[in-house]
Structure 1
Amino acid sequence: MFFNTNFFKYFSLYVSSKDFNNKKLIKKYELSRDIPINSKVCIYGFGPYGRAVLCDMFFFSKIVGIFDMVYSKNLNKILSPDKVTNCNFDFIIITVMNENGRRGVVNFLTNNKVSTDKIVFVNYKE
């Protein structure tokens, strides 16, 4: 069985989160586009949806970075958004649910020369 090399690095973050047992949240989202297997993926935002995406993505993609504004609270496994330009990725999944926050993240990424073709959104699903 194939396991992503970053599985254990990031899995401890997810298991230790309070959202791990939140049955209402897990799987109640969809991505704005399909991501091919073995793609290099970054996650922007490590709130409840970021953790759910991490749990789902690390089995069939390579997580190359997780970015969040509160990066210092997570023992250097979560990176500052300023470091996104140093990361080589195929897709970046924005897990910020607030519309104004999303726009700010997209503006930040495009101002830092991230192609909009690489940006994927998490959409809440009823």
Structure 2
Amino acid sequence: MTESRHDLYPGQEVVCIDDQVPLMDGTTVKDAILTEGTIYRLRWVGMANHYVFGEYLGVKIEGINSGFGEAWGQPDAPYNARRFRPLVKDPLAWAKAIVADPKRPIDASEGPTRKKVKEGV
């Protein structure tokens, strides 16, 4: 079965949500390269096919050669996209910072912006 994830694209920042590698006996081990909660940048997104894992939406990470798959003649095999989620930057971070520390100065790039409206026209 194929997955459909249209929200991933090369150059996008993603966060790893699953750093476990499944083994043939059904158990899992910690991935030696990826770490859950770490932010990565995608360098490739596309359908991949592996004779053990079948067809899946795969991603390759900038600066990382997955290494898995070399034993099966598939160097730098893509990771399964289900192991990642797009990084969502918190649009309310500036408001949360004010609540946490009301005396903290907020610079213009953090705060909300408003268009100036000409009054009386």
With the length of structure 1 as denominator, give the TM-score of the two structures: 0.23
**Higher helix proportion, which one?**
1
Larger radius of gyration: 2
Query: Which structure: greater strand fraction?
Result: 2
